[in-house]
């Protein structure tokens, strides 16, 4: 029994396995897509050189603007709207970012069957709620106020 | 020891609540004019060619990655005040990038910590549910606040973190005479191999309801400021709940991969993520951390810890003065 408790549990190892593979794929995607972006292989939706430019009537460059002002200035879609711009160099980077963001949801979905099989009811319930919380955050339904 | 534990816990609660209430108050009283005020900020050097800032960002985050490992802090807590204070990027994008920097670091460390049974999934899962839900609320509050209010609150938080780093004691093996009913019901317990002692250490936790309640505040602050929350996770897991220091540090690091995910999605969905800031920062911090681990063998941790404290003191003061429009 003590020997068993010294080792990581089955669900812990399963979680670690998925996290490990997903993390490397996500980071690799992030670096590759960024190289494509700054090299100009793919056209950018917001031209790179514009980011540091100060627009007329403002004291700050575009990347010094608040997020919602920046989005208005370039007509950038919020939520999952970026997927429609994925052919553009800048928004292609969001694939890697979204992959890293979605990894925890995937890990929970992987350990859920193990927890169910072990009849670990409390953790099954908590894990389901966690998936729902992360899915809600990822859904884009939630909007911050002030603009 | 008991007094310092109690003192740091009470301090965490009082200051966190003050900041939280101030933030909510400001959130409620501000509103539409936020955008106008933001445009009044004057940022030095904003006419510099676009490639200079990402390059400088990469170099700075590389150094921050080294310092973070040597100083025993997460990259996010150094990243947000320093990049927010000294780069021409809006604090919205800096916080979005800060969350992704902390997230990437946590995702990279997570698998190894879980496999070695140092990070405990049983301890992390209930805590993560509370903290990640609270981080969504924090992110929404943070994105609705005026930039100068964010800077004031961020500065106050960073100065508070400096205080915690300077005075909080850590306990390698806290005594847990009676695990509470909740931790027993959830079977939050474990055994790990402590190599420095050459023996197995069995651990339990207590004061679980109080710990979970504190993670509401920690989650809100993580989401609001885009900071990794290791500075708060570790004292709560270690000093309040009684998990051994190694288990606390490892579980805290893994926990960030879940807490920061929920807040990062809110920033991403609100368009507060710029790849030009995010990617050089993640790569810089990760490469710096790798170099930091190698330097750690020869470095004097105490001297570096104080160097990080001074750096945070400077960055926190800068954020505070920037928010108060005393040092633009």
| Assigned domain for A133 exists | no
Least CB–CB distance from A146: residue in B31, B126, B271: B31
Least CB–CB distance from A147: residue in B35, B136, B191: B35
Looking at the 3D structure of chain B, how many domains does it have?
Answer: 1
B192 beta partners: B201
| Assigned domain for A140 exists | no
| Assigned domain for A128 exists | no
Question: pTM of the predicted model, to two decimals?
Answer: 0.86
Q: Could A9 and B122 be called an inter-chain contact, meaning their C-beta atoms sit closer than 8 Å?
A: yes
Q: Could B191 and A129 be called an inter-chain contact, meaning their C-beta atoms sit closer than 8 Å?
A: no
Domain containing B117 equals 2-30+50-323
Q: In the prediction, which pLDDT does A80 show?
A: 93
- The answer, yes or no, to whether residue B11 has pLDDT greater than 50, is no
pLDDT tens readout for residues A63-89: 999 999 999 999 999 899 999 999 999
Q: In the prediction, which pLDDT does B40 show?
A: 43
Q: In the prediction, which pLDDT does A2 show?
A: 60
Q: In the prediction, which pLDDT does B44 show?
A: 44
Q: In the prediction, which pLDDT does B121 show?
A: 96
Q: Could A9 and B111 be called an inter-chain contact, meaning their C-beta atoms sit closer than 8 Å?
A: no
Lowest mean pLDDT among B114-128, B143-157, B305-319: B305-319
pLDDT tens readout for residues B52-65: 999 999 999 999 98
Looking at the 3D structure of chain A, how many domains does it have?
Answer: 1
Chain A to chain B, count of Cβ pairs less than 8 Å apart? 243
| Assigned domain for B14 exists | yes
Q: Contact, B76 vs B227, CB < 8 A?
A: yes
Q: In the prediction, which pLDDT does B6 show?
A: 53
Q: In the prediction, which pLDDT does B63 show?
A: 92
Least CB–CB distance from A48: residue in B46, B50, B265: B50
B194 beta partners: B199
Q: In the prediction, which pLDDT does B16 show?
A: 43
Interface residue of A5, A36, A64 to substitute, partner B, most B CBs within 10 Å: A64
Mean pLDDT of B226-246: 89
Among B308, B296, B176, B166, smallest CA distance to B248 is for: B176
| Assigned domain for B38 exists | no
- The answer, yes or no, to whether residue A92 has pLDDT greater than 60, is yes
| Assigned domain for A117 exists | no
Tell me the chain A residues in contact with residue B51 when contact means C-beta distances shorter than 8 Å: 38
**pLDDT greater at residue B225 or residue B23:** B225
Q: In the prediction, which pLDDT does B72 show?
A: 73
Domain containing A51 equals 2-101
pLDDT tens readout for residues B173-220: 999 999 999 999 999 999 998 888 888 999 999 999 999 999 999 999
Q: Contact, B4 vs B167, CB < 8 A?
A: yes
The C-alpha atoms of residue B60 and residue A54 are separated, in whole angstroms, by 24
The interface predicted TM-score (ipTM) is: 0.94
- Residues within 8 A of A (CB atoms), B 221-260 only: 257-258
Tell me the chain A residues in contact with residue B267 when contact means C-beta distances shorter than 8 Å: 67
Percentage of chain A lying above the pLDDT 70 cut: 95
With CA atoms as reference, the chain B residue closest to A97 would be B100
Q: In the prediction, which pLDDT does B47 show?
A: 62
| Assigned domain for B35 exists | no
The average confidence (pLDDT) of chain B is: 84
Mean pLDDT of B20-39: 42
Q: What is the dihedral of CA B110, B113, B118, B122, to 10 degrees?
A: 40
With CA atoms as reference, the chain B residue closest to A128 would be B129
| Assigned domain for B122 exists | yes
Model confidence band, residue A120 (pLDDT cutoffs 50, 70, 90): very high
| Assigned domain for B205 exists | yes
Q: Contact, B185 vs B17, CB < 8 A?
A: no
pLDDT tens readout for residues B263-309: 999 999 999 999 999 999 999 999 998 888 788 777 776 777 788 88
Q: In the prediction, which pLDDT does B187 show?
A: 95
Lowest mean pLDDT among A31-35, A48-52, B9-13: B9-13
Mean pLDDT of A127-146: 89
């Amino acid at each position: 029994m003590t020997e068993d408790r010294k080792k990581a549990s089955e669900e812990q190892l399963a979680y670690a396995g998925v996290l490990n593979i997903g993390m490397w794929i996500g980071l690799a995607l992030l670096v590759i897509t960024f190289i494509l972006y700054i090299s100009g292989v793919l056209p950018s939706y917001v031209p790179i050189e514009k980011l540091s430019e100060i627009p007329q009537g403002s004291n700050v460059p575009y990347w010094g603007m608040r997020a919602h002002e920046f989005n208005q200035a370039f007509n950038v879609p919020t939520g999952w709207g970026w997927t429609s711009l994925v052919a553009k160099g800048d928004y292609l980077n969001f694939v890697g970012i979204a992959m890293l963001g979605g990894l925890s949801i995937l890990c929970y979905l992987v350990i859920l069957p193990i927890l169910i099989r072990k009849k670990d009811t409390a953790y099954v319930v908590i894990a389901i709620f966690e998936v729902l919380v992360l899915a809600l955050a990822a859904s884009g339904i939630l909007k911050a106020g002030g603009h | 020891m008991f007094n310092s534990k109690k003192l740091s816990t009470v301090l965490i609660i009082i200051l966190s609540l003050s900041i939280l209430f101030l933030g909510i108050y400001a959130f409620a009283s501000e509103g539409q004019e936020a955008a106008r005020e933001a445009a009044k900020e004057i940022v030095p050097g904003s006419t510099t060619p676009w490639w200079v800032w990402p390059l400088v960002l990469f170099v700075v985050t590389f150094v921050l990655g080294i310092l973070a490992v040597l100083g025993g802090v997460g990259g996010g807590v150094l990243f947000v005040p320093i990049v927010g204070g000294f780069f021409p990027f809006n604090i919205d994008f800096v916080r979005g990038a800060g969350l992704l920097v902390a997230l990437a670091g946590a995702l990279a460390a997570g698998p190894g910590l879980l496999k070695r049974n140092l990070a405990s999934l049983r301890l992390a899962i209930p805590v993560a549910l509370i903290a990640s839900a609270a981080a969504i609320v924090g992110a929404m509050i943070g994105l609705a606040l005026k930039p100068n209010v964010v800077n004031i609150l961020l500065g106050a938080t960073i100065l508070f973190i400096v205080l915690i780093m300077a005075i909080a004691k850590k306990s390698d093996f806290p005594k847990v005479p009676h695990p509470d009913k909740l931790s027993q019901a959830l079977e939050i317990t474990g055994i790990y191999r402590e190599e420095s002692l050459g023996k197995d250490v069995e651990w339990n936790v207590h004061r679980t309801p109080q710990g979970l309640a504190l993670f509401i505040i920690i989650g809100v602050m993580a989401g609001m400021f885009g900071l990794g929350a290791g500075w708060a996770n570790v004292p709560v897991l270690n000093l309040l709940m009684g998990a051994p220091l190694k288990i606390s540090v490892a579980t805290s690091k893994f926990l960030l991969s879940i807490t920061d995910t929920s807040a990062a999605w809110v920033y991403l969905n609100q368009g507060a993520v710029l790849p030009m800031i995010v990617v050089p920062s993640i790569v810089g911090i990760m490469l710096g951390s790798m170099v930091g681990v190698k330097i750690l063998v020869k470095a004097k941790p105490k001297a570096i810890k104080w160097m990080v404290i001074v750096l945070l003191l400077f960055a926190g003061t800068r954020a505070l003065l920037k928010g108060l429009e005393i040092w633009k």
